[in-house]
DNA sequence: ATTGTAAACGTATATTTAACACTTATTAAA
DNA sequence: TTTAATAAGTGTTAAATATACGTTTACAAT
């Protein structure tokens, strides 16, 4: 059909964020193939004829973390002509939010992966550092108007946990009284009668996030600033 | 280098917005090549080895509008396997904001182009309608926290013009007194002593947008809601 | 001089955000 | 079994911001 048109190599790279109840983390992998074998890198793969970019990204994530149906969002394309010294490759970066505790350990270990704090990211191959920086910026921006925080927390979580997560995202302390007021005003949480006593004697009630209310919240045109 | 990897066709498509002092408009082109010759479409082109996607998009825009250094932003990729019945093509959509009056008429006429109101968009080829819808959504969202409005206005503009533009973007009436208060509070406009008398006997003062103040406004972490 | 019209301006009220201090439930140690 | 320690949980007030609304002003056309 489009005969004399040039074809190019196209790849996807995945930025994988997690939250371990203390810090936001980035999952990086020690590369095992040339070029750059032994260096830290995002995970990625070339695209073939059979998959959309999204499907390809989901597949990569499954391969490396054992997780399916991960929150995944396109970040942007990276297409500088000489970004890969080997050969020209256009890469589409995706960023994903995961619950660290759900990640299948064997998958991660098999690939020599490691969770890094955002302020301790090692040197990365190619333009992967730029991708990561852009993803962090986007994560912070996005958090202001979409409640993506939930993708990073376990199914049941406490208010102090949720607050801590947002403190990590915004990188500043929040007032706990105002935080509670605000989050409850959105009316998207369901209280359980369970308590998490891992961090205090009193224990903190566990909440679940109410999918139905949440969806209508989204549908209306939310503004999630905290 | 990456020998046995498959290569694919990759294209860019451009969504071109403008504002004619009354409505936000979308520039569409009557396609002159097969497949779909004679149908309305976005402008686009296949990517070759020599240009980044951004450069390619700028080149396309120059070819079709005569404009250089247009405001241009990546929207997202479209990569469904069967999105183009001819052959598999991955397309990256960009959206651009232009000042209609600066567009070189001959360029536009040569290509059988037409500015459409957003509520009168004709049937488009492939998934171009989806691209356009996504672009409109993004435009509206973006306007809430970045003063992109300026890209759509001539260098000198009046407050009522600016207000009208935002009324078009948000698709609702704004209070003129509050609008003025808000926009002046950002302190990013410079008043000229010229008046535009095209819409009233009294005439409205023309303003320019103050690049320096604007940049620091952006740098700090603005919130441009109007 | 009068009239019509869009531009420009100000104020009062409601809502939202920001700042701040005490009480409660529980466990572990005395 | 009392006491001490600690994070969880709650309410109030002041400041800032957003909303709603009426009047005056400059100019051209009559």
- Mean pLDDT of the A186-208 span: 94
Q: Which stretches does DSSP call E strand in chain B?
A: 9-19, 24-30, 40-41, 43-46, 71-78, 89-97, 113-117, 156-158, 189-196, 204-209
Q: Which chain D positions have some atom within 7 A of a protein CB?
A: 5-12, 18-22, 25-29
Q: How many CB atoms lie within 10 A of CB A219?
A: 8
**A11: pLDDT strictly greater than 90:** yes
Q: What is the pLDDT of residues B142-174, one digit of tens each?
A: 888 788 888 999 999 999 999 999 999 999 999
Name the pLDDT band for B218 (thresholds 50, 70, 90): confident
Give A209-213's long-range contacts (Cβ < 8 A, gap of 24+). A209/A150, A213/A187, A213/A188
- pLDDT score for A1: 75
CATH of B9-142, one of 3.40.50.2300, 3.30.450.40, 3.40.630.30, 3.90.79.10: 3.90.79.10
Cβ of B178 near strand D (distance < 7 A) = yes
User: Which DSSP string do the residues of B154-173 spell out, in sequence order?
Assistant: -SEEEHHHHHHHHHHHHTS-
The length of chain A in residues reads: 226
Instruction: Tell me which of B35 and B121 has the higher pLDDT.
Output: B121
Collect all residues of chain B within an 8 Å Cβ-Cβ radius of residue A218: none
Contact A86 B1 (CB under 8 A): yes
Specify the residue for token string 């990759």.
B10
Spatial distance from the CA of A171 to the C1' of C12 (Å): 38
**B219: pLDDT strictly greater than 80:** no
Computed over every residue of chain B, the mean pLDDT equals 92
- pLDDT score for B221: 63
**A152: pLDDT strictly greater than 70:** yes
Collect all residues of chain A within an 8 Å Cβ-Cβ radius of residue B146: none
Number of CB pairs, chain A paired with chain B, less than 8 A apart: 80
The secondary structure element, H or E, covering residue A216 is helix A211-220
Contact B6 A47 (CB under 8 A): yes
Helices (H), A40-119: 53-65, 105-110
- pLDDT score for A147: 81
- Mean pLDDT of the A185-203 span: 94
Same fold? B9-142, B155-219 = no
- pLDDT score for A115: 94
The fraction of chain B above a pLDDT of 90, given in percent, is 75
Closest partner CB to A81 (pick from B1, B52, B81): B52
Q: What is the pLDDT of residues A126-143, one digit of tens each?
A: 999 999 999 999 999 888
Chain B: closest CA distance from residue A205 (Å): 34
**A221: pLDDT strictly greater than 70:** no
Per-domain boundaries in chain B: 9-142, 155-219
Q: Which chain C positions have some atom within 7 A of a protein CB?
A: 4-11, 17-21, 24-28
HSE, CB side, 13 Å, CA atoms: give it for residue A198: 8
Across the strands, what pairs with B17? Answer: B26, B97
- pLDDT score for B214: 82
Instruction: Record the tokens describing residue A164, joined without a space.
Output: 């801590």
The sign of the CA dihedral B117, B104, B100, B216 is positive
Topology of the domain covering B155-219: Arc Repressor Mutant, subunit A (1.10.10)
């Amino acid at each position: 059909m489009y005969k004399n048109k040039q074809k190019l190599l196209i790849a996807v790279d995945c930025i994988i964020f997690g939250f371990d109840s203390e810090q936001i983390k980035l999952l990086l992998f020690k590369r095992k193939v040339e070029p750059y074998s032994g260096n830290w890198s995002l995970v990625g793969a070339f695209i073939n004829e059979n998959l959309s970019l999204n499907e390809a990204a989901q597949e990569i994530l499954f391969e490396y973390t054992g997780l399916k149906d991960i929150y995944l969002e396109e970040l942007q394309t990276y297409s500088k002509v000489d970004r890969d010294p080997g050969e020209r490759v256009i890469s589409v970066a995706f960023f994903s939010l995961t619950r660290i505790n759900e990640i299948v350990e064997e998958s991660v270990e098999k690939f020599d992966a490691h969770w890094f704090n955002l302020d301790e990211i090692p040197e990365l191959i190619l333009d992967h550092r730029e991708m990561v920086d852009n993803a962090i910026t986007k994560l912070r921006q996005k958090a202001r108007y979409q409640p993506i925080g939930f993708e990073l927390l376990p199914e049941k979580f406490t208010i102090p946990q949720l607050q801590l997560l947002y403190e990590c995202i915004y990188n500043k302390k929040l007032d706990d009284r105002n935080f509670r007021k605000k989050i409850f005003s959105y009316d998207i949480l369901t209280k359980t009668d369970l308590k998490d006593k891992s961090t205090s004697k009193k224990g903190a009630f566990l909440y679940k996030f109410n999918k139905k209310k949440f969806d209508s919240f989204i549908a209306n045109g939310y503004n999630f600033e905290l």
